[in-house]
């Protein structure tokens, strides 16, 4: 069965970058691109009578044609289908993903920045916080996918992060690019509470335990990594800062992140690492949900 990827677009300049990434991925993987355009409930849309396009057949056809032409203009390719809906963007995207066997959701990076972005939120943040499937947030400077692509995966050595390693290995195999596997954590000798053990030995024990766990995790993915040129890294620093700095220093094109299964309203908006990385990273980000099915 041909994979279908859903590209959410508001026909903006940011969405055009996401379209280029989706088109490049479709060419490599043989996937079909489905375009999603949601007319959000808002006063501006109400004033310009935007919802009529959802009710009038002629206007609906004109809007679908416009969206098809927009995609072709920016990619030179044809999409398989256009899906129109009205209402909450995140709710409608969830419905489309669940109802149409979508394997990947592609979003543009928000045009907002700083505190206003954190407080006001964005479609990308909402979908990354609780992804219905693997979600790509495309950075405008990193839309290409080829054998020069530099891919990284951030792992906290948990099950959800393991699934991100699987997806990153598959992408690296697909494009032929280099893969960096990163574990970043801030800990100290005080994390081992046995005061009878000297501090230097506690640090060595933590380092050894982390090295062993990283080796074990990579070993479980040995088959997927067979044809991948990869390097593993253990960085003693906070994960968001460490992964962001690594991506900047190495000019990484794409970072894969596993999303934790547990969340609440506070961590969903402010504390989740995947959300923070989506905000901070200077590259494209792919967030893998904890319950994603094993990739074919």
Look at 21-35, 199-213, 221-235, 272-286 and tell me which has the smallest mean pLDDT: 199-213
Distance, CA of 217 to chain centre: 21
Note the pLDDT of residue 296: 42
Cα 104 from Cα 102, distance rounded (Å): 6
CB 151 within 8 A of CB 172: yes
Is there a single domain that holds both residue 146 and residue 52? no
Is residue 62 pLDDT above 60, yes or no? Answer: yes
Whether 181 and 96 share a structural domain: no
CA distance 32 to 77: 11
Identify the CA nearest to 145 among candidates 178, 167, 177, 104. Answer: 177
Q: Which helix (H) or strand (E) holds 126?
A: helix 123-129
Name the domain boundary from 108, 133, 162.
108
**Residue predicted with more confidence, 198 or 34:** 34
| pLDDT greater at residue 271 or residue 67 | 67
The domain that holds 169 is classified in CATH as 3.40.50.620
Domain span at residue 94?
Answer: 1-108
| Domain-located, residue 133 | no
Confidence (pTM) = 0.85
Q: Are residues 88 and 171 in the same domain?
A: no
- Residue 171 scores a pLDDT above 90: yes
So what's the pLDDT on residue 128? Answer: 87
3-state secondary structure (DSSP) of residue 119: helix
Name the nearest CA neighbour of 26 among 43, 42, 2. Answer: 2
Whole-angstrom distance, CA of residue 221 vs CA of residue 18 = 29
Q: Count other Cβ atoms within 10 Å, centred on residue 212.
A: 10
If you average pLDDT over every residue of the chain, what do you get? 82
Share of the chain above pLDDT 90, in %: 50
Domain count, the chain: 2
What is the average per-residue pLDDT within 26-50? Answer: 83
Return the half-sphere exposure (C-beta side, CA atoms, 13 A cut-off) of residue 193: 0
> Considering the domain boundaries, does residue 130 fall inside one?
no
- Specify if 124 maps to a domain: no
Last residue of a domain, one of 108, 129, 149: 108
Based on its alpha-carbon atoms, the radius of gyration of the chain, rounded to whole angstroms, reads 21
Segment 45-73 shows an average pLDDT of 84
CA 30/CA 233 separation, integer angstroms? 32
- Determine, yes or no, domain membership for 75: yes
């Amino acid at each position: 069965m041909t994979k279908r990827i859903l590209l959410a677009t508001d026909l903006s300049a940011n969405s055009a970058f996401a379209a280029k990434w989706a088109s490049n991925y479709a060419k490599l993987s043989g996937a079909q691109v489905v375009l999603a355009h949601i007319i959000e409930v808002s006063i501006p849309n109400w004033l310009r009578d935007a919802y009529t396009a959802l009710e009038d057949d002629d206007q609906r056809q004109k809007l679908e044609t416009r969206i098809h032409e927009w995609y072709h203009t920016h990619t030179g390719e044809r999409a398989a289908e256009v899906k129109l809906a009205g209402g909450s963007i995140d709710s409608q995207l969830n419905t489309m993903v669940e109802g149409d066997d979508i394997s990947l959701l592609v979003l543009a990076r928000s045009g907002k920045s700083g505190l206003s972005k954190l407080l006001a939120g964005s479609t990308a943040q909402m979908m990354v916080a609780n992804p219905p499937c693997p979600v790509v947030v495309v950075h405008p400077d990193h839309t290409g996918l080829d054998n020069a692509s530099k891919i990284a995966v951030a792992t906290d050595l948990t099950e959800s992060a393991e699934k991100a390693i699987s997806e990153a290995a598959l992408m690296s195999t697909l494009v032929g690019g280099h893969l960096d596997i990163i574990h970043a954590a801030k800990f100290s000798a005080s994390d081992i509470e046995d005061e009878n053990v000297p501090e230097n030995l506690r640090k060595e024990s933590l380092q050894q335990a982390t090295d062993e766990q990283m080796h074990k995790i990579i070993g479980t993915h040995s088959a997927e990594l067979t044809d991948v040129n990869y390097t593993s890294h253990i960085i003693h620093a906070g994960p968001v800062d460490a992964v962001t700095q690594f991506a900047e220093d190495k000019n990484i094109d794409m970072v894969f992140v596993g999303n934790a299964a547990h969340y609440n309203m506070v961590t969903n908006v402010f504390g989740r690492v995947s959300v923070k990385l989506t905000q901070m990273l200077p590259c494209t980000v792919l967030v893998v949900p904890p319950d994603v099915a094993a990739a074919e």
